Structure 1
Amino acid sequence: MTVYRRPDPIPLNRSRPVATLDQGPIRPEQEDLHHLVARRIFLAIVAGTYAEGGILPTEQALSEELGVSRTALREAIKGLASKGLLETRRRRGTMVLDRSRWNMLDADVIDWLRRDESAAVSGELWEAVVAFLPRVAQVAAHRGASAALRHAALVRGHDTIEARVDFLVAVARGAGNRFALSVITGALQNLIARDRSYLERATSDLTTEAARAIVAQLELGSTDLLDAALTGDLRFASRTVPA
């Protein structure tokens, strides 16, 4: 007599360490089932179980491997497609897209990446802020936003991390560039929510006095003090840059 055996959860390539799907059927806890399924597939993609440019298993095979319904799987795939990770092509299946097309500022994507590389994610988010903000601040000053920046520096006080973030967002908002504002705000919001201690250290030089000096210098067309505050070199810059 032949006994049917349910397939084991997704078989993996054991030659590489992976964050895998091989954890048994998914069971919903505090998250929606389709969100849990999406996260499991995402981690398998990041681990290399499903290569970029490759095709996912069929819907039937994948739903069996995950131990979920096809409905939950379809919703998960739709969610991942909306984040730029997957693309469903007729008669070809669901393709894993190149990482350059992923929406790296999506809150889920950032949180899922933090599962195994939280410190690296925080570092990259802060690097994005450091790269964008000085140029955006120059644009803000040229656009006549100096009054708003002076107000932000004066009234917020910078004894709390929230106040420092508010000041940086105010600087970004002054440029009037919605895309740059989205990048900077998204990075700062994730840092303050997920790695507060990192952001505390990264913005420790951004005192009230420093914020006032930064705005005054921006009005003169220089971002030296802002660069220094964002990179931890403010004390040296304060001694070498004329007031």
Structure 2
Amino acid sequence: MLWHMPTDAAAPYPTIAARARTPRLGVTVVTDLVSAIVRGDLAPGSSLPPEAVLCEQFGVSRTVIRESVKRLEEKGLVTVAQGRGTQVLPAASWNLVDATVLSALVANDATLGILDDLSTVRASLEGVIARDAAAHRSEADLERLRTAMQLMRDTIEDEPAFNAADVVFHQAVGEMSANRLAVNIVGILFDQARESDRFHLHSRLETTLEEHERVFAAIETGDPDEAEAAMRSHIADAWERRRPPSPKR
């Protein structure tokens, strides 16, 4: 729904699309403002409407608006300057791995460019994680990975269960890596990809299983080069299979 600005407002400020009020008002305001900035409703260099206008549009207190603006500033979307108000920053300043920002980018990605970039970055990072797993695997690690691999084999006829087993496999590989930063970033990227309906188009399960078997074999035999190559190839090829047509590439 839209919260309309007061008719006596001194300046023509954009009306921010806002959802129905919830107990977590601050979260809702931040999410809606992030979406407005990502969509371009609030362009770089422009100013956020004054507190009074935002309070009216969202139906919240000044305290909620001030806290929400602080969250936007932390995410790199705005800067607060004395005497100039709150200005929207260009995309180069945004924290793109922030879950709220990334979610808005994916949701408003008409050309799938963000999901393309996300898959490229994820392939690189998961390749590094698989290499690390192959180089430092323990028998306990391998046993967990064998269990995850067998779960994928056992669920090949049940796509939802297979997809859940796929997640378990990647988590098991991540647990074998000492590169916690890469694992954390991959988790954020993967979570956001999975939230997009366009990521969940049917993928050939037999092919996906074969790709995981290759990753598993390389880690089990302790071949870091092959583990990295197999994981990179799997992530890139899996996205190409899922990717729907779009006007631009």
What SS class does the counterpart of residue 230 from structure 1 fall into? helix
The question of 1:210 aligning with 2:214 is answered yes
TM-score by length of 1: 0.70
CA deviations 1:3-44 (Å, max 9, x no partner) are: x943499645xxxxxxx62x5xx5643463333322332233
Structure 2 unaligned residues grouped into runs of 5+: 1-5, 156-161, 239-249
Aligned pairs for 1:29-178 within 5 A:
29-30=21-22, 32-64=24-56, 68-117=60-109, 120=112, 121-142=114-135, 144-145=136-137, 147=139, 149-156=141-148, 157-158=151-152, 159=155, 160-178=162-180
2:220 & 2:180 partners in 1: Cα distance? 24
For residue 221 of structure 1, the aligned residue among 219, 225, 228 is 225
Report which stretch shifted further, 162-171 or 121-130: 121-130
Q: How far off is 1:184 after superposition? A: 0.7
Q: How far off is 1:94 after superposition? A: 2.0
**Is the 1:86–1:95 contact (alpha carbons within 8 Å) kept by the matching residues of 2?**
yes
**Is the 2:39–2:108 contact (alpha carbons within 8 Å) kept by the matching residues of 1?**
no
Q: How far off is 1:167 after superposition? A: 1.9
Q: How far off is 1:134 after superposition? A: 1.0
TM-score by length of 2: 0.68
Aligned pairs for 1:188-207 within 5 A:
188-195=190-197, 198=200, 201=203, 205-207=208-210
Change in 2 beyond 3 A, CA 1:193/1:27: closer
Letter in 2 for 1:182: N
The question of 1:232 aligning with 2:213 is answered no
Q: How far off is 1:179 after superposition? A: 1.3
Q: Which structure has the larger Rg? A: 1
Change in 2 beyond 3 A, CA 1:30/1:224: same
What SS class does the counterpart of residue 48 from structure 2 fall into? coil
Structure 1 unaligned residues grouped into runs of 5+: 13-19, 234-243
The percentage of aligned residue pairs carrying the same residue is 26
What SS class does the counterpart of residue 87 from structure 2 fall into? strand
